[in-house]
Amino acid sequence: MGHFRSFLDGIGFFFQGLRWVARYPRWWLFGLIPALIAFVLYAVGLYFFGKNALDIAAWGTPFADGWGEGARTALRALVGLLLFGAGLLLAVVTFTAVTLTLGDPFYEKLSEKVEETYGEVPTGYELPLWKSIPRSIRDSLVTLGWLLLFTIPLFFLGFVPVVGQTVVPVLGALVSGFFLTIELTALALERRGLVRKSRFGLLRANKAPTLGFGVLLFLLFLVPFVAIIAMPPAVAGAAIMVRTRLAPPLLSAERAR
């Protein structure tokens, strides 16, 4: 029961972030700019990927060339659908990282503004922009690597009857949600001097709220335009979660680097 309550608390942090940006709509609009840019890039990529999914499926299933037309078409349609589904899943789970990287100055400012309304903002750990952006890209690539380590096996398990249609989607949402929370809390946790390894450990120790927050966002981000609108509240909610729930002790600036 305690874990379930903590899971619900994680969901609640998104709604706290939603309430915050509703009170400060100027910052909501401010946070929409990088999300909109990222959305356009992803929409164009997914359009061309979907348009060519059947051709890619045909290229990847040469063994079916000798099959009957009906069986060959059905197989390649299924493979094309699964490929597009995998591409959509990858887009959802990388959308946050790409948007945060593109909009690093935007979301850093938004996250700081959220913390200002709760009191003093942790200082002394900021990196100059020319250092923070490469570090953010590097951390996002490492996170993506870990994510793929889990999602690639889940993709192939998706072909298993029954399990692929029941267990795999649930596991996929949990894994993707966890890594979404990692990306979104990075701004506030870095502000407290936590490097990537420490951030991972902290969120693993708080799995229930981490999953509650991230799984909700994963489901919301599956809806195209909702992903744009939900990004600023997600950043605000992550800052609130770090501030009020995780609240790690400050580390030395030397250890942070």
pLDDT in tens, 70-126: 888 888 888 888 888 888 878 877 888 788 888 888 898 999 999 999 888 887 556
Question: Residue 204 is encoded by which pair of tokens?
Answer: 């693993």
Mean pLDDT of all residues belonging to the chain: 83
Residue 29, pLDDT > 60, answer yes
Q: How many residues does the chain have?
A: 257
Domain positions in the chain are: 2-50+94-256
- Closest of 128, 135, 113 to residue 186, by C-alpha: 135
DSSP 3-state assignment of 21?
Answer: helix
Residue 19: C-alpha distances to residues 23, 106, 192, 230, 238 (Å) = 6, 19, 24, 12, 13
Task: State yes or no: pLDDT of 221 exceeds 90.
Answer: no
Please write the tens of the pLDDT for every residue from 228-251.
899 999 999 999 999 998 865 444
Q: How confident is the model at residue 129 (pLDDT cuts 50, 70, 90)?
A: low
Q: Answer whether residue 191 shows pLDDT above 50.
A: yes
**Residue 256: pLDDT band with limits 50, 70, 90:** very low
- pLDDT for the residue numbered 19: 96
CA distance 138 to 140: 5
Q: What is the pTM of this model?
A: 0.78
Radius of gyration of the chain (CA): 20
Q: Rounded CA gap, 135 and 155, in Å?
A: 29
Identify the pLDDT of residue 230: 92
In this prediction, residue 237 carries a pLDDT of 96
What's the pLDDT score for residue 254? 36
Give the rounded distance of the alpha carbon of 58 from its chain centre: 31
